Structure formats: structure tokens, C-alpha cells
Structure 1
């Protein structure tokens, strides 16, 4: 880009300087020729005052207006043309001047360059000024028409033009070089933000930077913002894929644990077959749910209401088999009118992860409370879900850390640390809130989910 702009600017600058040089050259020549014309005009006026003898011959001025008129072949010549002949200055003795015609009285002409043969015999050129005049003889009273011609060699003017051209192109060339250097500096300065963007992109590609900075000109902000948006989108997609795989693995953990516990319990073949069939259906539903969840950006706004108790019972039955050795008792306090307006898989993930966390930490009791939440006129009610246990609970200064993905409350307890992160993702998609505290009734942890109305 810089090279193209530099070439374009250079060609434009060269064309401009060429046109400027041509225009200045023509202007100088025109001015110089005007100066020659004025000078020859002044000489012509000096010879216009010449007297005439009785025989009609010319009596030139005693003092010539320029000494060159008296030096043969000097390059400055005077002619007075009459009807009966012509007079020439001493300088015209030797050179062969161009033919000089008579002009009407009052007519002025400036011609040139005209050819002549110099005193050395070599060809040359002259500028010629002619002035037609009319004089009256004082004795006879008759009128005498005559024409004064002043001729000057073009050599002097040519030398002036050549000197001017040499100086002109020397200065224009120097100015062109300076302007090209300035143009290069201006281009490098003006394109520096683009080079900075390229350098930042390279740092992002190498992992040295997380995104484009905001230290860019206003014109480049749409570009850098689009790049940052693309980078963020790609990172979110990668995180979503990772989370989906982790969530899927976490969801399949409970059915697999149920199967393992049934195998270790020595159940009969029919019981094992029935249990395997149940858990396989559940795992199939979980896989389908996680894939669908990964493909959509949020929950369905107009989902049919779902009864909560049947799903809660199914989850608790499986958990009681997994934690049969602990003998945990789960109690329900579910309002009959309470409904979940959303995806069935979201409800199962929400209840499953909260109840499994409670079973894992409880000593002997778990309490699930479900009730309708806030009511607004003309909108379906919200939902309040509370899961409590009688375990050790969570310290207040440790709550934020436990809710992070991949963090476990106790590293000695088996788990992946993503169950509560899944719960938070689901609650966030429903614009709800999750509050964690201590249970007043059981003394352990208390997880309270509040979903707003109108969803």
C-alpha cells in the first residue's frame, strides 16, 4: 500500500513539476520577448526623429541610441525604408538582413525569429520591430512615408533562456527530491497506525496479546473493533465447546455411577437389565440435551410448563442408589402449582447438579423446596427452588471460589468441579439468580434459585 501510494504521488509530483516547468519556461520566454519588443520600440522612436534632405534621403541622428549600431555585425541593426530606397546603420554593413517591406503609417509589428546571414557567413536569427511613420517636408509640404526597422540578434535572448532553463530545472529537480522525501516521511507517518495494527495482529497470533488495543485512530476503530469481536467470538465458541464436552461428561457421571453401584450390589439379572435400560435412556436424553444446548443460544421463550416433582423423584432415586452407603434421606416440599417454563433438560440439569452436590456433602438429610416465585399481572409466575443439606456447609469467604468452573469445595472429595458452573449457566440463560448460604433448618449448605416471572 505504501509503495503504491508513493509511486502514485511520485508520478503526480513529476507530472506537476513538468507542467510547472513548462509553464514557467513559456512565461519567461514571453516576458523576455516583451522586453525585447519594448527595447526595440524605444530604439525605433529614436530613429523616428530622423530628418530628410532636399533630395528625400535620410539624415540619421548624430548620436546613435546604442553604440552597437556603429559596429558592423554587432547584432543590433537599424533600417529606414523609403519609397525611393532605404538607409541602414553601420552595424548592418556585412550581414544579409531579411527583406524589409514598407508599413502603413501607424502600423507596428514585432516579428521573429527571422533568418539572416551573419557577417561571418553563418546563418543566424533576429527579432525585428517595425514602425510605419509619415513625415511632412517643411519646404515643399509634401508627405514622406517611411518605416523604421530595428533588428536584434537572438543570441543574447537565447543565452538568457538557456541560463533560466538550467536554473529552473535545477531548482525544480531539487524541490522534487525534497518533496519526494517529505512524501515518503508523510506516508510512513500516516500509515504507521496500519503497521501498528499489523504488529498487534502478529502478537495476537503468537499469543503475546489477548486482543487489539484501543490506542488507534478513530478511522481504524471499526476495523479493530471488528477484529476484537471476531477474536472474542472465536474464544467464546471454543469455551462453549469445551464447556459442552465437560458438561456432557459430568452429566453422564451419575448414570454411570448408578450402573456401577447396581453391579457391585449383586442385583439379579432382571434388575440389572431394567436398570441398564433406564440409565441408557437417561444417558441418551442427556447427550441429546447437551447437543441441543450447544446448538442454541438460549432457552425457548414459549416452552410448555413442566411439572417438577416427577423429574425430582427420578433424580433422587438414582442418587439414593449411588449414595446408598450413606443412607441419605431426601425430603420434598414441592408446591402442586409450581411449574418450570423451559427445557426439560435444563430442569434435569438444574435439579440433578444441586441434588447431587447436596447428597455428596450431606450427613443424612437433604431438603428440596419448590414454590412459585414472584407474580406479575398478565405474566406467568416465577419459580423458587431451594436445596439444603445437613453437611458442613460453605464458608462465606469461599462461596465465590466454589462457584467457579473446575473448582471443588474440598479437593479430597471426588468430582470435577463443574456441576455448580452448569447450574449458573442455566440460571443465567433464564435471567435468574443463585444465592448460596447456610441452611437455618438443617445447618448445612443452602442453594436458592430464583427465576423471574414471564419466562
Structure 2
């Protein structure tokens, strides 16, 4: 069973197609063989019937009751002993056999009623040396009109070997041609399968290049049926690469952040400080290192995401966040308005959605005068793709100068390097957007006049 399970796709297809081809050709050969045998027997029956009728119309019975066959004979083989074609006439007081039956013992047949016809065979006959052969027989029952009506049965026999020879010749030709056709069709199947599976082999070769580091992703030149697979594989490759890059950045940030507390501890040890001072400094630096480690770990946890997750409704999550922010900024009277499509969904982790909305809305609440607008729209997608999502946060604050936008979106090196004002939390937002292969842009709000943060998650497989 294990061997069957590990068969390649080409081997499976070739085996299944070959079995179907063999079954089809076997059934076709059997059907043609039976059709030819039936046709040959029908032709033999017609030929023997015509010969029997020829004996009826061309023969006579003299006054002495002797049977006189047609002259000349209907077939010269009736005159040649053991020729394979025989005739017999039987009545109450009449027995006549053709000269060809000399040395042969024809099979006894029943007497037939007038007008009755019967085709039989193969029947066994024995020659003078005891050799057994087979014949087909066609018999007609008649009443001969003469001085007295005489019931007769006229029978014509022919060796079964002759029809068997025809069938053997046909079978050799039939199975020879079918065998040749099978070989040709198998070769055609192999070529078609190799051509059909060529895109899969190309995907395999491209994956090998990716594993060896020769390529960064799969190409897009694949049949339509493989587009979903190749896009998913590319998404997984990019996600893995992104996770690795974030892990490296987190470790780098953590190491860089811990250098200062460790340097302070080293300097205090070398300064011969008192026990109380040293204890107080160590406690402070340990607390600081704990905060640094906690921050970096939480940031690393937020940067991870599931590539394929159940869709999450955005409006309920936004209402929870806005309800808390309005309490914090109640003294300033900042209110948030919603323009959220009811069909909008976030395809990812709940924590990522909360971090994304929380940081964007907190920035807007902090810098807004009175109004914040949260808009969520659905971006239509082609067939077989999930729709995209566009999240926009506007405020009526002072806005952001265009020359500072690029600096604002740069990733912070350490946790305490985040830009004040609108820069708070944007490094986290940028990481989340990048992780989901989205786009983050900063501009001016057309309606409120302040800053606009626009996040777009494009349609995906």
C-alpha cells in the first residue's frame, strides 16, 4: 500500500489511463470479434440455404423413387470426396448423400416438417479413419410432389474449419492492429502527460532554486489552475522571510537596548560604590532591562501574524477602542465618527487589528481639535480572491508637513526612539501593515483638514 501511495502523479495518470485503454481495447476487440463471427455464420447460413434451395429446385425423383441431383452440380466440391461441402436427402424410404461425403459419417438429423428450416452447428462428423471434425448444417423440410407426395429433408453441410480459418485470420489482423494502436496511444499518453505535467515540474524546479537560495520567489508564468497554489507558496515564502527579518531586528534591538544598562552596571562595579548605592543602581537597571525585554517581546509577538485566518468584523473592535479613547480625552471633547462598510472584514489576527486601530486612533485623538473620522471600505476583488480592505483615519488637527512623512514612517531602532506626536506607535503600525503585505500612506484629510493615515490591504488569494 505504501508503494501505491508514493507513486508520482505521472505514474498514477499513466497507470490509470493505461488500464482504461486496455479495458477499452479489450472490449472493442471482443465486440468486433463477436460481430465478425456472427457475420461469418450468417453468411455461411445464407450460402448453405441457397445451396439447399438449389437442390430443391434442380433435383428430381424418378418413378422408382431414386433421387436425381442437379446437373451440373451446384458446386464442384459436392463431387470431390472430403472436400468439406456435403449434401444429403432423407425421406421415409430415401437416403441420398453427395459424392463428397464418401468416407465420412454425416451427423444424423431430425426429419423436418414441410417449410421448416433449421441451421445447426458445429456438429461432429467422423471419417473412415476415426478422425473427428465439425460441420455446420442447414436443413429444409419439403413435400415432394410426384406420383405420391413424399416428405423429404434436404440438408447441406460445410466444414466448420473453413469458417474458423476466416475467424482466425480476422482475429490475427484485429489484435495485431489493436496492439499497434495500443502502443501508439500509450506513447501519445506519455507525451500528453509530460506536456500536461510540465508546469508542475517547472514549479518543482523553481522551488528547488528557492531552497538553494538562487531565487527569492516563484515566477508568475504558470497556468491558471496553478496560480492560486503559486501565489500561496509565494505568500508563505515572503511571510517566512518577513518573520526571519523581524526576528533578527528584534534580537538586534534587544541587544542594542541592553548595552546601556549593562554598561552602567559595569561602571558602577568599577567605581567602588557603597553597598546601598550599588544595590539601588542594580535594582534600577534590572527594572529597566525587564522593561526593555518585555517591550521587545511584546513587539515581536505583535509582529507575527497568521497568513490565513478567519475574517474579523472591524466595526465592533473599533467601537471598543473609541469608547476607551473618548473617556481618556473627555476633557478635550474629541468625538469619533464612523463610516464603516458593514461587509468590511480584517483577515488576520485580532491582536494585530487592535494594535493597528488602537495606534492610529490614539494618534488622531491626541492631535485632533474636536473631530476624528474612521472610514473602512471594501475593495472589490477578481474571482477566487478575497476582497481588499481600506482603513482611513482622519483628524482635524495641525496635520503633518510633507517633508516629514518619510522620516515619520521609518522604523525605530530602539523602543525609546519613537517620534513624538504623530510618530507614536507608527513603527508598530508599519510592521503590521508590512507583515500583511499592505500599504501605509500619510497625507492631508480633505474634509477635516488635518492628517490622514490610510492603510490598504489588497485583495488576496
TM-score by length of 1: 0.67
Aligned pairs for 1:39-438 within 5 A: 39-49=47-57, 50-118=59-127, 121-137=130-146, 140=147, 142-252=148-258, 274=280, 276-297=282-303, 302=321, 372-373=367-368, 375-376=370-371, 424-426=426-428, 428=430
**Do the aligned partners of residues 385 and 260 (structure 1) sit closer, same or farther apart at CA in structure 2, a change above 3 Å counting?**
farther
Q: Contact 2:88 / 2:98 at 8 angstroms: preserved in 1?
A: yes
CA shift digits 1:6-30 (9 cap, x unpaired): 2222222222222222222221111
CA positional deviation for 1:188:
1.1
What's the counterpart of residue 412 of structure 1? none
Deviation at 1:422, TM superposition (A): 9.6
Deviation at 1:39, TM superposition (A): 0.3
- How much does 1:288 deviate? 1.1
Question: Could you tell me which residue of structure 2 aligns to residue 446 of structure 1?
Answer: none
**Aligned equivalent of 1:313:** none
Q: CA contact under 8 A between 2:394 and 2:451: conserved in structure 1?
A: no
Shift of 1:146: 0.7
Structure index of larger Rg: 1
Instruction: For residues 127-184 of structure 1, give each alpha carbon's deviation from its aligned partner in whole angstroms, at most 9, with x where no partner exists.
Output: 11001111222xx4x4221111001112221221111111111111111111111111
The size of the alignment, in residue pairs, is: 369
Q: Closer, same or farther in 2 for the Cα pair 1:180/1:82, shift >3 Å?
A: same
Which secondary structure state, in structure 1, belongs to the residue aligned with residue 120 of structure 2? strand
In structure 1, the gaps of 5 or more residues are 309-335, 351-369, 389-395, 408-414, 436-448
SS in 2 for 1:202: helix
Instruction: Summarize the Cα distance change of 1:75–1:377 in structure 2 as closer, same or farther, 3 Å threshold.
Output: closer
Q: Could you tell me whether the CA contact under 8 Å between 1:112 and 1:127 is conserved in 2?
A: yes
Give the distance between the partners of 1:193 and 1:54, measured in 2 at CA.
Answer: 92
Q: Structure 1 residues 232 and 54 mapped into 2: Cα distance closer, same or farther (>3 Å)?
A: same
Displacement of 1:295 in angstroms is 1.4
Say whether the 8 Å CA contact 1:430–1:451 is kept in structure 2: no
Aligned equivalents of 2:210 and 2:373: distance in 1?
50
The 3 A distance-change label for structure 1 pair 246 and 419 is farther
Q: Deviations over 1:283-312 (max 9, x none)?
A: 32222122122212599973966999xxxx
- Is the contact made by 2:115 and 2:140 (CA closer than 8 Å) also made in structure 1? yes
Structure 2 CA distance for partners of 1:90 and 1:405, relative to 1, 3 Å: same
Q: CA deviation at 1:255?
A: 5.1
How much does 1:226 deviate? 2.4
Conserved? CA contact 1:375–1:381, under 8 Å: no
Could you say if the C-alpha distance between residues 193 and 283 of structure 1 is closer, same or farther in structure 2, counting changes exceeding 3 Å?
same
Q: Give the drift of 1:57.
A: 2.4
SS in structure 1 opposite 2:299? helix
Preserved contact between residue 418 and residue 427 of structure 2 (Cα < 8 Å): no
Aligned equivalents of 2:399 and 2:155: distance in 1? 122
Task: Give me the whole-angstrom Cα distance separating, in 2, the residues matched to 1:386 and 1:278.
Answer: 38
Give structure 2 stretches of 5+ with no counterpart. 1-8, 305-316, 335-350, 360-364, 375-392, 434-439, 444-449, 455-461
Taking only aligned residues, the RMSD between alpha carbons, in angstroms, comes to 4.6
TM-score for the superposition, normalised by structure 2? 0.66
| Pair 434,20 (structure 1): closer, same or farther in 2 beyond 3 Å | closer
Query: How big is the shift at 1:55?
Result: 2.8
Q: Distance in 2 between matches of 1:422 and 1:202?
A: 43
CA shift digits 1:390-418 (9 cap, x unpaired): xxxxxx7x9959976699xxxxxxx99x8
